[in-house]
Amino acid sequence: MEEIIITTKFTVFHSAEELPDEVQFLFEQAVKIQKNAYAPYSDFRVGVAIALDNGEIVLGSNQENAAYPSGLCAERVALYQAVSNFPEAEILRMVITAAPKATGIPVPITPCGSCRQSIGEYEIRQQSPIEIYFMGEKGKIYKSESLKNLLPLLFNKKLL
């Protein structure tokens, strides 16, 4: 028998003021686009802002649908839009914000498993890490240097 130990590392910011200016700007954009979420079933609104190496910023919000699972998470809305519109650009960083309608979330909200897999595909494709920042409606902000911290045993095309 063998044991594998996997460790991850996150940077924790205690307030948005500790973030670099360009990341603060992305969070402002993510919070704004969060208001465009269509979340009549969960009342859980998510906003995402992606910074590309060509200077473009791509936004996305979650979109639910009564014919579950036809909706799409904000991360994948923004990710697919970025890659569709700017196929040659690399994704530098992604910021994620979340807020339920009724109560504030004081803890950082991470991407779901499907979004982690999708982000991982593009990180492998571009052969460079994607910084991921995430927060709830308030409180601490976590930064991951790469999707590998969130999904260390990523399923990828090399396994097919």
Active site (catalytic) residues: 75
Report d(CA 113, CA 47) in Å as an integer: 17
Largest separation between any pair of C-alpha atoms in the chain: 51
Element (H, E) at 129: none
- Whole-angstrom CA distances from 140 to 25, 43, 48, 157 are 17, 22, 17, 35
